[in-house]
Amino acid sequence: MMSQMAPRSKAGEYLRPESQFRNLVLQSETLVNPSTDSANSSAEVYPAAAGRYRLVVGWGCPWAHRTLVTRALKGLEDAISVTFVAPSPEAGGWIFEQPEEGCQSLRDLYQLAQPDYTGRCTVPVLWDTQQQQIVNNESAEIIVILNEAFNQFAKQPELDLYPEDKREEINNWNEKIYHALNNGVYRCGFAQSQSAYETACNQLFQTLDEIDTVLEHQRYLCGNTVTLADVRLFPTLFRFDSVYYSLFKCNRRRIQDYPNLSGYLRDLYQLPGVAATCNLAAVKRDYYGNLFPLNPGGIIPLGPDLNLSEPHGRDSLHQSAQIPVLE
CB-CB contact of 186 with 6 (8 Å):
yes
14, 46, 53, 61: the active-site residue:
61
With b for 16 or more beta-carbon neighbours within 10 A and e for fewer, the 149-161 pattern comes to bbbebbbbeebbb
In angstroms, the CA 142 to CA 74 distance is 13
CB-CB contact of 2 with 192 (8 Å):
yes
Q: What is the CA radius of gyration of the chain?
A: 19
In order of 19, 121, 131, 137, 181, the CA distances from 142 in angstroms are: 12, 16, 18, 7, 19
Residue 126's DSSP bridge partners are: 55, 136
The yes-or-no answer on residue 61 being catalytic is: yes
The yes-or-no answer on residue 46 being catalytic is: no
Strands (E) in the chain, as ranges, are 24-26, 45-47, 53-58, 81-88, 93-100, 103-105, 125-128, 133-136
CB-CB contact of 27 with 48 (8 Å):
yes
Residue 47's DSSP bridge partners are: 26
Residues taking part in catalysis: 61, 186
